[in-house]
Structures are given as structure tokens and as C-alpha cells.
Structure 1
Amino acid sequence: MHDQTPVQIAWVTQDLTATEMALTALMGAKKWVRMPGVHFGPETCTYRGEPADFVADISLSYAGDTQLELIAPVSGTSIYTEFLGRSGPGLHHVCTAYPDPDSFEAAVARARQDGIPVVMEGTMPGGMRFAYVGAEHAGVPYLEFAYIPDEIHALFDHIKQEQK
């Protein structure tokens, strides 16, 4: 869990277009790739320990080597809808990536052992695994741990190349 360089900064918003425009102006992102209607189902995702079932629109870009992610909840309950209800739109999490499933699992297990709650976790299509941990009481909304398989890395590299 320690000595991990963040690979992504993410915001939750109700308006993808407005947030894309703001981050384009502020951070120099050139092209955004939208993934509408991404479904997180109860077979592959949990939220606060219970099966989750929600949909979100996602938009990705890059500022240098850092991925920018925008998440707009569409339906269902998740840490994204919870965050919007509590705080309104804003910076939601940073993500650190692990090179293999074992190191990802070890990071999640260490968080649990240290008493840091795993708020939401799951597997996305393509095999990307994620776990959000939080220290909300200390002003740290969420940190996302991820294992990103080669197929998803290729997609992310393509999006990064679109910025040049």
C-alpha cells in the first residue's frame, strides 16, 4: 500500500460536459472519451458490504501521464451518489495501480487489517479490479486500489495517445 504513485485523479459530477470543459481549460486535457451507461451489478460489485447495482457515465482523459476520470451517476446507489448527496460535485478519489492480482489483494487486505474500511469493490468488464478505501473522518474521501490487466492498459494507452 505504501510508496504507490497515483495514476488517476477522479471527480464525481452531475454534468460531464461542464466538468470536461473546466478540466480541459485548467489541466490541458485535449480529448475526452466517454463510456455511457457503465453497469456495476451485484454479481461483480459490492457497496458497503452488500451487493451493488448501479449505472454511471464515465469520461476519461489525460493530463500528462495522469488519467483524469469523471463519473456521473445515472441510477442506483453507490459511493458516487453518496458523495454527491453529502458534498455535491467535486474531487472524489485518487487511484493507485498494482501490477498483479496478488499485490492488489495484499493492499486491500492490509487496509482491512489496519482498520480502514473498504467501501466499494468489484470487477469491471475486461477484468479490471478495484477497491475504494476511505478515511472520510480525516478528510480523505477515497483512495482507489486497482489491478489493471493488459487489455484495459491498452485502452488507457490509446486514450493517452489521443492527447498528443
Structure 2
Amino acid sequence: MSRLFGEIAQNGYVVRDLDTAIANWVEVLEVGPWFYFEGLRFEDFRYRGEPSEARVDLALANSGDLQIELIQPADDSPSMYRDFLAAGNEGLQHVCYWTTEYQQLYDTALARGYTVGQEGAVGGAQGRFAYLETGFHPGTVVEISDVSGPKRSVFDFIRKTAAEWDGSKPIRRM
């Protein structure tokens, strides 16, 4: 438990081949089902303070209360995902904390010296997110994500579906 951010709600993995990554999670670990979003473009996305049109292919599933996010860049636009792969990494890129007090947590993190690597939104202002750089090890980027809006309902649905999953239909394209 982080005294600043709270409980980790999601582990985010950046991968070179999303289909292979999903297959491994399903076949080896039997985690699923995966909700697959192709060509997702974030709202108001900024990379290192500059606008970016980055698109990603993304899949979400849960293992208990922990959400697993798999991300594959879908274009060459600047993003921390591209940076991670270009540095020769693949795998855990960030841990994510969900909050209903987004602006307060954002301001506190910046006041404590965190810097924003990228930020944007999914589903409007109540779906904002920011990736905060830690710099101490690959896989330790901190994401904070506002779940005070409709994004929370989607995440709750994914968790409930995983809890009841019988192994059928492991990929659900959105």
C-alpha cells in the first residue's frame, strides 16, 4: 500500500505483439476474458507536454481485484509506450492507482517532485490519467487514473465478468 497513492489497482504491460501476449495470459495463466480495444486514441493526449496523436491496441482483464492491461503501440507517434519498447524493454511498464480525487492527487504528486511523462483522458474529464515518471527502474512508472466517471463502471464490469468467466470466449473485441 502506497501512503501517497493507495492500493495498486492495475499492472500495465507494454508488449510488441498483443495477440501473443493475450494468448500467453489465457493459455498459461488462464486469465481472462480479455476486452480488446483496437486503434484506441486518447483524448487530449500529451507526451512530455506536447500534443501527440498516439494510438494503441489495448486489452484489459482481471485477476481478482487486480486489473491487467496489455498495451501495444499502434503507430509511430510519441508516447512512453514507444520509449519503453525502443529502450529494449517489454513487460511491466507501469502500476496504476485509481482515484476519485484525481486533481488533488495529481497536484500532490507534482508538489512532491514527480514529473508527468504523458497524460490524457478516456471518456471525458472524469476519465483523466497521468503517467508519472519515477526513473528508478523500468516498469515503475506510476499511473494515476480518475475513476469518478463512467470508466469505473467499465472496470467494474470487467472485474465481474472475470470472476464469472468459464473459459469460453477469451477475447471480446470492443
Output the TM-score relative to the length of structure 1. Answer: 0.88
Verify the 8 A CA contact 1:27 1:63 in the aligned structure 2: no
Q: Aligned-pair distance for 1:26?
A: 5.1
Q: Given that residues 38 and 56 in structure 1 are in contact (C-alpha distance below 8 angstroms), is that contact kept between their aligned partners in structure 2?
A: yes
Whole-angstrom distance in 2 between the partners of 1:110 and 1:27: 37
Q: Which residue of 2 aligns with 1:15?
A: 17
> Any conservation in 1 of the 2:15–2:90 contact (CA below 8 Å)?
yes
Extract unaligned runs of 5+ from structure 1. none
The aligned residue for residue 123 of structure 1 is: 121
> How far has the Cα of 1:161 moved from its partner?
2.2
Higher helix share goes to which structure?
1
Report the TM-score, using the length of structure 2 for normalisation: 0.83
The DSSP-based 3-state class of the residue aligned with 2:107 is helix
Superposition CA RMSD, Å: 1.8
Between the two proteins, what is the percent identity of the paired residues? Answer: 28
Within 5 A, what are the aligned runs for 1:18-29? 18-25=20-27, 27-29=29-31
Please state if 1:152 is matched with 2:133: no
Q: Which has the higher contact order (CA 8 A, sep 6+)?
A: 2
Distance 1:27 1:94 in 2: 20
Kindly tell me: are residues 6 and 16 of structure 1, through their superposed partners in 2, closer, same or farther at Cα, counting changes over 3 Å? same
Secondary structure of 2:114's counterpart equals: coil
Match of 2:59 in 1: 59
Change (3 A) 1:3 1:130: closer
Task: Give every structure 1 segment of 4 or more consecutive aligned residues whose post-TM-superposition deviation is greater than 6 Å.
Answer: none
SS at match of 1:87: coil
Contact 2:127–2:149 under 8 Å retained in 1: no
AA of the residue aligned to 2:7: T
- Runs of 5+ consecutive residues of structure 2 not aligned to the other structure: 165-174
Shift of 1:63: 0.4
In the comparison of the two structures, how many residue pairs are matched?
Answer: 158
Q: State the secondary structure of the residue aligned to 1:88.
A: coil
